[in-house]
Structure 1
Amino acid sequence: MFDTETYLKHLGYTGTLEPTADNLRELHKRHMMTVPFDNSRNAAKGLAIWDDVDAGADHFFQALIAEGRGGICHEHCGLFRTLLAELGYDVKVIASGVRGANDQFGPDLEHMLATVRLAGADWLVDVGFAGPSFTEPVRVSEDVQEQNGFAYRVVEDGAHLVLQRRPGGRDWQAVYRFTLRERELSEWKAIASGENDDPYWHWAGEMIRAGTLIYGRAYETGQLLLVGRRYLRAEDGSDHTRVLAKTDEYESVVRHVLRQDA
């Protein structure tokens, strides 16, 4: 059963409960530091990953907090937005299409995240994106916002908004594109049932069906991301990447990212 006090204790959060920007930043970062991204329970499901998109906060709380497991985007999003709503934040679900290796964006419903309306501004809230991305909310604005040596901004691109990220001394690169239109969970259920005929899912679905294991977690000054055997550590404005060829090293990194060696 979802329990706000237990959730906050899991995050190690001891601040005030007022819905402020500073508190939102700390809650967001603490979630990403203590609740890892882990698709290993869902990697073999293909587009059926959306089957339990509407399972509810109690279900996600049991898996990610009570049992201490990691999860995927809609599990993180469903859990965290429930916490924010309980604390009085104005939160809604939105969707994004992620930039692929060919610089093309995936379907608009490829990823689930949320926005918070606070002090007259919209903030991107995304604790369930494997990354690398932001660890604290990003204001929906072209103003440059710095985190851990990386710069972020949101720019217009036709009918979409695009979240961009810039490592130190490098060019801007898109992370994903989105709109601020509130989404219904039934839209993702339509994907799982095959009712959604968006042609982009033909290739995005194949990528999901590949079953690559992905693990991710934030820490105080950056992020860790393991995609297959490719290990990325993002901190101080730099992305450091290497391939883990040895099985024992790979398994050690998985345990570290999942906090199983803590």
Structure 2
Amino acid sequence: MFDIDRYFEHLGYTGGRERSADNLRELHKKHMMTVPFDNSRNAPKGLAIWDDVDAGVDAFHEALIVEGRGGICHEHSGLFRGALLELGYDVSIVSAGVRGANDQFGPDLEHMMNVVRLDGEQWLVDVGFAGPSFIEPVRISPEVQSQYGFDYRVVESGDYLVLERRTRAKDWHAVYRFTLTERKLTEWKAIASGENDDPVWHWAGEMIAAGTLIYGRAYDNGQLLLVGRRYLRAEDGQEHVRVLAKTDEYQAVIRNVLLQDA
């Protein structure tokens, strides 16, 4: 069963429980620092990663908090959404298509996150994106918002809103695009069951099934991301990337990201 006290204890969250932007920011950051992204259990599943999308907050709490494992987007999103709903926040599920290496966006249901409406503003809340992205929620606004040396904004592009990020050394680039259309978990279940026969999903599933492992976690002023052997550390507005050729170094980084050797 989901236990918000145990969840807070696991995160080391001692902030208030009233609805506020400050509490939302702190809780978001604590989750990202404490519960890692880890697709190693799901990488071989292909489109079957969506089979348990509706497993519920109790199941996600058991896996990520009680068992102390990392998870993927819908597990993180579902757990965090359950906590916010218990605290009385106004939360909805939205989806995004992630920008790929070719600068093209994936399908609209490629990624799951949440939107929180609070004091007349809308906040993009996403604790389940491997990154690098943002550590604290981002207001859905074209106004530039800075976090730990990185800048963020949400701009309109045709029928979509696009989350953009900027390092100190580079211009703006898109992270993903989304709409504010509220999504239902049954939409992802349709993908898992094959009812959604968009060939893009088959291509994406094959890529996932190829076994690329992804690990990610935030720390106090930055983020760690390991995609295959490519290791990225984002800190103070800068990104440092290297390839981990040695197996012992690769394993050490995984342990660090998963908080097993931090």
Normalising by structure 1, what TM-score?
0.98
Percentage of identical aligned residues: 76
Check conservation: 2:47, 2:201, Cα contact below 8 A: no
Displacement after TM superposition at 1:147 (Å): 0.7
Displacement after TM superposition at 1:187 (Å): 0.2
1:137-176 to 2 correspondences below 5 Å = 137-176=137-176
Q: Which residue of 2 aligns with 1:71?
A: 71
Q: Which residue of 2 aligns with 1:111?
A: 111
Structure 1 counterpart of 2:238, one-letter code: S
Check conservation: 2:214, 2:225, Cα contact below 8 A: yes
Structure 1 counterpart of 2:107, one-letter code: P
Q: Which residue of 2 aligns with 1:229?
A: 229
DSSP-derived class of the 1:171 partner: coil
Which runs of at least 4 in structure 1 moved beyond 3 Å after TM superposition?
none
DSSP-derived class of the 1:52 partner: coil
Alignment deviations for residues 205-241 of structure 1 (CA, whole Å, 9 cap, x no partner): 3322222000000000100000000000001101100
Matched residues, number:
262
| Structure 2 Cα separation of the partners of residues 47 and 199 of structure 1 | 12
Q: Which residue of 2 aligns with 1:197?
A: 197
Structure 2 residues without counterparts, runs of 5 or longer = none
Normalising by structure 2, what TM-score?
0.98
| Structure 1 Cα separation of the partners of residues 146 and 20 of structure 2 | 19
DSSP-derived class of the 1:105 partner: coil
| Structure 2 Cα separation of the partners of residues 241 and 16 of structure 1 | 37
Check conservation: 2:150, 2:237, Cα contact below 8 A: yes
Check conservation: 2:43, 2:213, Cα contact below 8 A: yes
Alignment deviations for residues 85-125 of structure 1 (CA, whole Å, 9 cap, x no partner): 00111011000000000000000000000000011111000
Check conservation: 2:32, 2:127, Cα contact below 8 A: yes
Q: Which residue of 2 aligns with 1:83?
A: 83
Structure 1 counterpart of 2:110, one-letter code: E
Structure 2 counterpart of 1:49, one-letter code: I
Q: Which residue of 1 aligns with 2:216?
A: 216
Displacement after TM superposition at 1:202 (Å): 3.5
Structure 1 residues without counterparts, runs of 5 or longer = none
Q: Which residue of 1 aligns with 2:179?
A: 179
Displacement after TM superposition at 1:138 (Å): 0.3
Check conservation: 2:26, 2:136, Cα contact below 8 A: yes
Root mean square deviation, CA, Å: 0.8
Q: Which residue of 2 aligns with 1:52?
A: 52
| Structure 2 Cα separation of the partners of residues 207 and 155 of structure 1 | 29
